[in-house]
């Protein structure tokens, strides 16, 4: 047999086997990964709108702009089915290390109910990654659009900046401001 043909056939078989193994691994892991992602999203929704009994997808979509990308807008409904607020997943590319993914909940009056940083994997460890800390995220609850941040101690509608991570703080603050302003513009739906 021609050596080139033989080597080509061997390489083809190796590639075929490797591709089959990868396809098998994907088939086995895709379901559990999808379930884990859905559970994480439900947990985040419950954290940013704890008074909601359930969530429904809204037909309204937010306009992506600047460095913000919006996921599905969710209606937060109480036990009687009454609309009590909204939750939306926002990804900002304005973080120091790139994308920061945030779940944001707001009531119908435009007040932040809560936020949950879902991902900030490229932020600097010990600096920007501190946006994952509950203390940082808790500062947003009860605030209204027009949020700013302070490096010297927050007052009023300010957020305490993460020490050494002003870019990360600014990215999260601007994403929250924008999302809540868009929720306010819905006027209760």
For residue range 93-125, list pLDDT tens digits in order: 888 888 999 999 999 999 999 999 988 877 777
Pick from 20, 58, 66, 38: nearest CA to 170: 66
- At residue 189 the predicted structure's pLDDT band, cuts being 50, 70 and 90, is low
Domain boundary assignment for the chain: 1-42, 49-186
* The length of the chain, given as a count of residues: 189
Torsions phi, psi for 121 (to 5 deg): -65, -20
Strands 158-160 and 148-150: what pairing? Answer: parallel
Coarse DSSP helix, strand, coil percentages of the chain, rounded to the nearest 5 percent: 40, 30, 30
Q: What is each CA distance from 39 to 26, 35, 70, in whole angstroms?
A: 20, 6, 19
**Which residues, 6 or more positions from 80, have their beta carbon under 8 angstroms from its beta carbon?**
none
Q: Is 144 buried (19+), middle (13-18) or exposed (0-12) by CB count in 10 A? A: middle
Q: Which of 44-58, 131-145, 175-189 has the lowest mean pLDDT?
A: 175-189
List the alpha helices (DSSP H) in the chain.
3-48, 134-138, 166-186
Is residue 32 predicted with pLDDT exceeding 80? yes
Q: How far apart are CA 146 and CA 12, in angstroms?
A: 60
Token digits of residue 61: 């979509």
Q: Among positive and negative, which fits the CA dihedral 34, 39, 43, 49?
A: positive
**Rounded mean pLDDT, 132-158:** 89
Q: How far apart are CA 95 and CA 67, in angstroms?
A: 10
Is the pLDDT at 10 greater than 80? The verdict is: yes
pLDDT digits (tens, 9 = 90+) for 76-101: 999 999 999 999 999 998 888 889 99
Considering only CA atoms, give the Rg of the chain. 22
Percentage of the chain lying above the pLDDT 70 cut: 98
Give the pLDDT score at 19. 94
Residue recorded with tokens 């900002």? 92
Supply the pLDDT for residue 188. Answer: 52
């Amino acid at each position: 047999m021609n050596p080139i043909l033989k080597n080509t056939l061997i390489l083809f078989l190796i590639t075929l086997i490797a591709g089959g193994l990868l396809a098998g691994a994907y088939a086995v892991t895709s379901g559990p990964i999808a379930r884990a992602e859905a559970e994480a999203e439900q947990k985040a929704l419950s954290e940013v709108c704890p008074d909601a009994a359930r969530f429904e997808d809204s037909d309204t979509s937010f306009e992506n702009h600047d460095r913000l990308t919006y996921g599905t807008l969710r209606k937060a409904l109480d036990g009687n089915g009454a609309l009590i607020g909204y939750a939306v997943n926002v990804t900002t590319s304005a973080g120091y290390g790139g994308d920061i993914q945030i779940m944001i909940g707001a009531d119908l009056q435009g007040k932040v109910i809560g936020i949950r940083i879902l991902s900030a994997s490229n932020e600097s460890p010990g600096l920007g990654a501190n946006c994952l800390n509950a203390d940082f995220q808790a500062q947003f609850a009860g605030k209204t659009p027009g949020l700013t941040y302070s490096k010297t101690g927050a007052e009023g509608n300010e957020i305490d900046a993460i020490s050494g991570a002003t870019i990360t703080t600014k990215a999260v603050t601007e994403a929250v401001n924008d999302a809540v302003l868009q929720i306010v513009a819905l006027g209760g739906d």
